[in-house]
Structure 1
Amino acid sequence: MTTLTTQAASARRAQQLRAARDKHELPRAERWRRRGPLLPALLFTIVVTQIPFLVTIWYSLHSRNLLRPDSDLFVGFANYGDIVRDSTFRGAALNSVVITLGCVLVAMVLGIVLALLLDRPFPGRGVARTLLITPFLIMPVASSVLWSMAMLNPTYGLFNWTLGLVGIDPVDWTSTYPIVAILMALVWQWTPFMMLLVLAGLQAQPKDVLEAASVDGAGPWRTFTWITMPHLRRYVELGVLLGIIYVVNTFDQIYLMTAGGPGTASANLPFYIYQRAFLGFDIGQAAAMGVVVVIATIFVAMAALRLIFRSFDVKEHS
Structure 2
Amino acid sequence: MATENTKTLARAMMAPSVIMLLVWMIVPLAMTLWFSFQNYNLLTPGNNSFAGFFNYQYFYTDPAFFQSIWNTLLLVVGVLLITVIGGIGLALLLDQPIYGQGVARILVISPFFVMPPVAALIWKNMIMHPGYGVFADIARFFGVQPVDWFAQAPLFSIIVIVAWQWLPFATLILLTALQSLDGEQKEAAEMDGAGFISRFWYLTLPHLARAITVVVLIQTIFLLGIYAEILVTTNGGPGFASTNLPFLIYKTARLSFDAGGAAAGGVIAVVLANIVAFFLMRAVGKNLDR
TM-score range, shorter chain: over 0.9
Please tell me the root mean square deviation across aligned C-alpha atoms, in Å. Answer: 1.5
Cα distance change, pair 166–63 in 1 and its aligned pair in 2 (3 A):
same
Taking the TM superposition and a 5 Å limit, the aligned residue runs for 1:1-318 are 13=2, 17=3, 27=4, 29-314=5-290
- Residues in 1 aligned to 2:21 and 2:120: alpha-carbon distance in whole angstroms: 31
2:264 aligned partner, one-letter code: A
Moved more, 65-74 or 124-133: 65-74
Instruction: Provide the rounded CA distance (Å) in 2 between the counterparts of 1:64 and 1:170.
Output: 46
CA distance in 2, matches of 1:254, 1:217: 50
What SS does structure 2 have at the residue aligned with 1:92?
helix
Q: In the comparison of the two structures, how many residue pairs are matched?
A: 290
The answer on whether the counterparts of 2:213 and 2:287 sit within 8 Å (CA) in structure 1 is: no
Separation in structure 1 between the aligned mates of residue 217 and residue 289 of structure 2, nearest angstrom: 18
1:179-230 per-residue CA deviation (whole Å, 9 max, x = no partner) reads 1211121111111111011001101112222222222222211111111111
The farther-off stretch of 230-239 and 44-53 is 44-53
Distance 1:100 1:309 in 2: 21
Structure 1 residue 92: Cα displacement: 1.0
Summarize deviations over 1:16-45 as a string: whole Å, max 9, x none.
x4xxxxxxxxx3x43332233332332222
SS in 2 for 1:87: coil
* Structure ID, larger Rg: 1
Report the CA distance between 1:250 and its aligned residue: 0.8
**Farther off after superposition, 132-141 or 30-39:** 30-39
Give 1:169 shift. Answer: 1.0
Q: Secondary structure at the match of 1:205?
A: coil
Q: TM-score, normalised by structure 2?
A: 0.95
Once residues 277 and 37 of structure 2 are traced to their aligned partners in structure 1, the CA distance between those partners, rounded to angstroms, is 26
Paired residue type of 1:184: V
Q: Which stretches in structure 1 are left out of the alignment for 5+ residues? A: 1-11, 18-26
Is this contact kept in 2: 1:140–1:253, CA < 8 A?
A: yes
Q: In structure 2, list runs of 5 or more residues that go unmatched.
A: none
CA contact (8 A) 1:105 1:240 kept: no
Tell me the CA shift for residue 70 of structure 1.
Answer: 4.3
Per-residue CA deviation, residues 47-81 of structure 1 (Å, 9 max, x unaligned), is: 22221011101111112112233442212222222
The answer on whether the counterparts of 1:201 and 1:232 sit within 8 Å (CA) in structure 2 is: yes
Q: Does the Cα contact within 8 Å between 2:173 and 2:215 map onto a contact in 1?
A: yes
Distance 2:163 2:134 in 1: 17
Q: What is the match of residue 23 of structure 1?
A: none
Q: Percent identity?
A: 37
- Higher mean C-alpha displacement, 62-71 vs 279-288: 62-71
SS at match of 2:289: helix
Residue type at the aligned position of 1:86: D
Q: Which amino acid aligns with 2:251?
A: Q
